[in-house]
Amino acid sequence: MDAILDILDELRPGAAFAGRTDLVDSRELDSLTIIALVAELEDVFDVVVPAVEIVPENFNSPEGIWALVCRLRAQDL
Amino acid sequence: MTSYFSPSFLAVFLPVAVLAYQAVPRRARWAVLLAASYAFFWALSGWLVVFVVASTAIVWGVGRALGAESSRRALALAEPGADRRAVRQRWQGRMRLTLAAGVVANLAILWALKYAGPLASFAASLGVSVGEPPSVGLPIGISFYTLQAVSYLVDVYRGAVVADANPARLALFLAFFPQIMEGPICRYAQTAQALWEGSPVTARGLFSGSARMLWGLAKRMVVADRLNSFVRPVFDDPAAYDGCVIAVAAVLYTLQLYCDFSGTMDLAVGMGRIFGVGLPENFRQPFFSRTAAEFWQRWHVTLGAWLKDYVFYPVSLSAPVRRLTGAARRALGGRVGPAVASGVALLAVWLANGLWHGAGTQYLLFGLYYFAVIWLGALVAPASEALCARLGVSRDGALWRGLQHARTLVVVLVGELIFRSASAAQGVELLGRAALGFRAASLADGTVLAVGMDAADFAAVAVFAALLLVVGALRERGARPLDAVWRRGPVARGALCCALLVGVVVFGAYGAGYVPVDPMYASF
């Protein structure tokens, strides 16, 4: 979970992410940032994020992003 | 009846549809909506209704095939000892073929009716003869319902929605008359079930929908129709006007397009509310944007969202672009690298956006222009943020925000000038004349007032534009004006509707001297 916050801080320096549940809805994460985030997630956690998973529910909060990573890792097993 | 603004639509067709909808039992209301939708389509496009029927049949059949394949894949995955990765890959290949067949069939109809003719003419102008395709006309809303059809198929393929076994429900989703002409572009999960349920017409829905429709009618008749007297002659014969008039025409056309398109969306959303269906919003105060990218999250929202979900992300996450992104990240870092690689997907999005509007070169240039602006914006964002931090400039300060708003407005005005031009070459020429041939004296010496709008017309537009600004600012702060009026009781509700109606009757631009603008997005 801390790794998710580190990645977000690197992509959007200065923005507050902890506890947020509106990252997509408030446009804090736009589509370009989401693609950069997906590239980091795939690199760091060795998962493949399909296009169908790029929905606001998965990216609105750091917890949602972490849950997505955990789910994708479990699917690969 | 030619559009939602026709007196026969507003005074006869819609009231009859609402009364019939409410009069029949709930389980039959979908049939009233479907009959009204096809009657509306027939009234505007005649026998071309066969194309929406064909698209519906294709989408229903392909959707069912995808659903069946998905079920068989699930069974194969559930078998003991199954190689899950191999099973997934095998079925993914089959389902992709099925999906491609459905998408290509729909796009082929769109291509044949909308693009084949203009492209044959373009080829002929270059001296290349490809044969003239038969011209049958363009069914109303084909660009809109085709995108809905494709989104439904992709959503079924992705497992986001279950394939609908009911062709009538699918037909209603694709052809619902309040949104068939100009959108909003709906997703199956957003509206199909609500359309089918046949919710009763309620007092609140009737008030909220009617007031929203009157607001849209005011935008259209007070502003868009009035501005037609200035915009149309200038763009019909731009050589007759100086750079200042062209610059003013670009500003007024932008306002006209906004009032025409968002006014039509007000009518669509309002009609939806009367029938108890929440259609998605297509505009969210676009002129409050600080960047071009943000503008496109607020202007024609459902087209932008469609392109994001069905073009940008799939292209970005395709194997070649993933490899490019990986290489760019290694070379340029985790932030700049993906921004560079995203150019591929952004180019696909903006080419699609431009060409979706038509086959003209002005639309191609329009798309490439926004691609360049938004991609460059993404590329320089990290350096810009670092520079501001070094200089101690607050990016949330009033001065910086004001500069961003002004810059975005100029970007939008340039884009709309290209968009309204007859060709890319004319767009470039008009831009040059507006920028280099601008004489401020024309604003004061009567040149602008001689085009087609007098001082009273300008005053009416200015007052309504100020009203739009105030309402937009309130909505930016989260206000919901219609909810507030509803809570104040029946007198306030009646007063608002009467005020809007009187405003349209008194200040609307109709009768001798005015030519109503054709619904602009209906031709796309």
How does DSSP assign B315-335, residue by residue?
HHTSHHHHHHHHHHHHHH-TT
pLDDT for res A77: 56
Asked if the C-beta of B515 comes within 8 angstroms of chain A's C-beta atoms, the answer is no
**Cβ-Cβ contacts under 8 Å, B476 against chain A:** none
Q: pTM for the full model?
A: 0.92
Q: CB–CB of A68/A7 below 8 Å?
A: no
Cβ pair B313:A31 closer than 8 A: yes
Q: What is the dihedral of CA B455, B460, B466, B471, to 10 degrees?
A: -170
Q: Among B316, B375, B394, which would you mutate to test the A interface (most chain A Cβ atoms within 10 Å of its Cβ)?
A: B316
Whose CA is closest to A29, among A2, A58, A50, A70? A58
Q: Hey, what are B352's tokens? A: 């699609």
ipTM attached to this prediction: 0.89
The tokens 């049949």 sit on which residue? B57
Where helices occur in B333-438 by DSSP H, the ranges are 336-356, 361-391, 398-420, 424-436
**Is the Cβ of B488 closer than 8 Å to some Cβ of chain A?**
no
**Biggest distance spanned by C-alpha atoms of chain A:** 36
The gap from C-alpha B13 to its chain's centroid, in whole angstroms, comes to: 25
CA distance B143 to B146: 5
Distance from CA of B158 to the nearest CA of A (A): 6
**Number of residue pairs across A and B with CB atoms under 8 Å?**
56
The pLDDT tens digits of the residues spanning B242-276 come to 999 999 999 999 999 999 999 999 999 999 999 99
Residue B228 near residue B256 (C-beta atoms within 8 A): yes
CB spacing of B334 vs A36 below 8 angstroms: yes
What's the pLDDT score for residue B143? Answer: 95
SS3 call for B42: helix
- Which residues touch B151 (CB under 8 Å, ≥6 apart)? B185, B187, B188, B306, B309, B310
For residue B285, list chain A residues with Cβ-Cβ distance below 8 A: none
Q: How far apart are CA B207 and CA B210, in angstroms?
A: 5
Cβ-based neighbours of B359, under 8 Å, separated by 6 or more: B114, B115, B118, B119, B122
Residue B523: the pLDDT is 66
pLDDT tens for chain B, 524 residues long, are: 889 999 999 999 999 999 999 999 999 999 999 999 999 999 999 999 999 999 999 999 999 999 999 999 999 988 888 888 888 889 999 999 999 999 999 999 999 999 988 888 878 878 887 777 777 889 999 999 999 999 999 999 999 999 999 999 999 999 999 999 999 999 999 999 999 999 999 999 999 999 999 999 999 999 999 999 999 999 999 999 999 999 999 999 999 999 999 999 999 999 999 999 999 999 999 999 999 999 999 999 999 999 999 999 999 999 999 999 989 988 988 888 888 999 999 999 999 999 999 989 999 999 999 999 999 999 998 888 888 888 888 888 899 999 999 999 999 999 999 999 999 999 999 999 999 988 888 888 888 888 889 999 999 999 999 999 999 999 999 999 999 999 999 999 999 999 999 999 998 888 777 777 777 777 67
Q: Which of A14, A40, A54 sits opposite B334 (nearest CB)?
A: A40
Cβ pair A38:B326 closer than 8 A: no
Q: For chain B, give me the number of helices (H) and strands (E)?
A: 25, 0
Q: Which residues pair with B299 in a beta bridge?
A: B283
Calculate how close chain B gets to A11, using CA atoms only, in Å. Answer: 6
CB-nearest to A54 from B297, B313, B342 is B313
Q: How far does the CA of residue A61 sit from the closest CA of chain B (Å)?
A: 19
Does residue B90 belong to the interface with chain A, where contact is any CB pair within 8 Å? no
Task: Determine contact: B329 vs chain A, CB below 8 A.
Answer: yes
Q: Which residues of B298-330 are buried (b: 16+ CB within 10 A; e: fewer)?
A: bbbbbbbbbbbbbbbbbbbbeeebbebbbebbe
Give, in order, the Cα–Cα distances in Å from B35 to each of A26, B28, B175: 40, 11, 10
CB contact at 8 A, B337 and A47: no
Tokens of B288: 């409050």
pLDDT for the residue numbered B293: 94
- Test B316 with A35 for CB contact under 8 angstroms: yes
Domain locations along chain A: 2-76
Q: Is the Cβ–Cβ distance between B300 and B416 less than 8 Å?
A: no
- Which of these, B496, B471, B462, B472, lies nearest to B226 by C-alpha position? B462
Bridge partners for B283 per DSSP: B299
Partner residue facing A30 (CB), from B293, B316, B334? B293
Q: What's the gap in Å between the CA of A36 and the closest CA on chain B? A: 5
Could you tell me which CATH class the domain A2-76 is placed in?
mainly alpha
**Minimal Cα distance from B337: which residue of A?**
A36
Residue of chain B minimizing CA distance to A44: B334
**Chain B residues touching A31 at Cβ < 8 A:** 308, 312-313
Q: Taking CB atoms and an 8 Å cutoff, what residues of chain A touch B345?
A: 35
Taking the C-alpha atoms of residue B444 and residue B446, their distance in angstroms, rounded to an integer, is 6
- Find where tokens 């009617």 sit: B210
- Residue A39 touches partner B, C-beta closer than 8 Å: yes
Distance CA B299, CA B70 (A): 36
- CB contact under 8 Å between A39 and B334, yes or no, is yes
Collect all residues with Cβ–Cβ distance below 8 Å to B122 and sequence separation of at least 6.
Answer: B359
Which of A11, A35, A51 is facing B342, going by the closest CB pair?
A: A35
Q: Which residues of A touch B330 (CB under 8 A)?
A: none
Q: Tell me what pLDDT residue A76 has.
A: 61
- For residue B502, give both structure tokens: 């009187």
- Distance between CA atoms of residues B156 and B187, nearest Å: 11
Give yes or no for a contact between B408 and B370, defined as CB atoms under 8 angstroms apart. no
Backbone angles phi, psi at B299, to 5 degrees: -115, 130
